[in-house]
Structure 1
Amino acid sequence: MEFRPLTDTDLATAPDWFGEIELRADGWRDATTRSAVAVADDRIVAAGIIWTSRAHDDRFWIDIVVDPAHRRCGVGTAMHAHLSHLRARGIPFMTRGFADEPRLAFAYVLGGHTIQVVPPTRISVENRSVLRSDPRVVAAGAVPFADVLHAHSDMYAWIHRSWSPVAAGFEDAVNHGLDEDLDREASAVALDADGRVTAIAAVYRDSERPLLCAETTRPDEPGGERLVEGCVRFALDVLAARGVQRVDFDGHVSDPHFLPNWAKLAPTGRWFLLVEVPPALP
């Protein structure tokens, strides 16, 4: 079995099983974004890809897919070893998926361990009555958009700090496109007496149904759980008035002010895991 870079020609003539992951040609963004194929008997039997996020640079994301006819034969492990040698920096890998997916089982075989858990996301808007409104909360559209962007990036930075710290210049990545994707009427912010944004419930409209992410703008915000509760209630009230019946929440079990409010809303769905995977030994 031999390895070579994944090309645009490979993608144009790809077998159906390539579609199980998102693949791009080798070096599609820069020299650190790598992808490869494994070839046996003049036939591609596996493909893999590694890249770093624009918001985080502490781990390489990794995805590997193997021809169904060659699975459980060591091909995926060999691809993992090959991608380990392609890393531009000596940092570990990271992958993600629903808890019952085979891709995560493979990650654990490679020595992976869970670094974050994303709880079930689906919420029925009618359940919002368990949350309390708060007079400190207003629509995000009622404050300068620059303040909303600052609050959004502040929230993002601290909820990732303990398990995946942000990279320099992460703000541009996490706020990219929000001028179109953020629903400013449904999104909510809590303000202190000086007009500072202390919490935010961001409602994104770039997916099948509204997606909501909520937390305080700093980890030690006094009364943070109550502030987030008021922001989420405001957002759900606006969505309910539009006739929206279900929304998806995006958060982590380590988000201390989000999680208690999420739990009150009787969420349903599948558990999602983020897993760090060590590189192959030299």
Structure 2
Amino acid sequence: MNDGIIRLENIIAADYGNIAGIVVQKKGEVVYERYFDGYTPVDAVHVMSVTKSIVATLIGIAIDQGYIESPDQNVLDFFPAYKLKRGEQTIKQVTIKNMLTMTAPYKYKSEPYTKVYSSDDWTKSALDLLGGKSGITGEFKYSTIGTQILSGIIVNATGRSVFDFAAENLFTPLGITIPGNTIIKNKEEHLAFLSSRAVNGWVVDPQGVNTAGWGLCLTPRDMAKIGQLYLNGGSYEGREILSRNWIEECTKVRSRWGDFSYGYLWWITDSEGDRCYAAIGDSGNFIFVNPEKSIVVAIASRFVPNFKIQTTLITRDIIPLFE
């Protein structure tokens, strides 16, 4: 083990004790793989908001296959039975693009997680929160609850569950195995899911609709495959899974939140002058892609309350070891 790897693992031990595993690939080859805290290559971790970037991928596949015309379609096109409240007009203007770029308007100041996740239909509850008096301003408003609407769109556009659509068109072609759906019935089970080491599957609501903003469990190897798919321009082992055009659309700067840039449910960042992009989840879950250096970094981490997400470990301590 060289000095750089020893230094890296000392930093992880000192400052990132919740990391379960790391996989680094360069030009499609694994150059580093390490597991911590008793985790193994087959142990899945709840990757939190990395789920959002997976759902953006599924939206792209649905567009590639003609189920969705374009991101410019209105959200309500996919919910013809949804009944608007009196005087509510803003929601009619909200597009899929607004959802993907976090520029959709909402009627709350802080996200009412308990209200939505204790309801019988999480997609409808999210739709009920969409809109408001201010209208569509283009302002970035990060929303985990709101993203759930995209899962409803996938279900209604394809006529299939999100899980089945993902399994056929993304997971199976990449060699990713997700055991099935995970049902969470109440707040206590939700908290247990967040804190437990032994989690797997993909959370669904009482209607059987998978979560879009959180709730997916992956291994670091699974995460690296998603990153490699993007780095390859949408192909994997010679098979096109996602169009190159959609990857380019996802990884353009679409909106901004302070100093941070956002594409279609992917964060856009600079690393030593290189334009990079990342799927980022709470507690330090990452699929980080550096196209210039042909490097993918996947990090799976256990949930830790009030954890401050940093890309420093990747940009300062990991990538320079494998350039």
* TM-score, L = length of structure 2: 0.25
* TM-score, L = length of structure 1: 0.27
Structure with higher helix content? 2
Highest Rg: 1 or 2?
1
Structure with higher strand content? 1
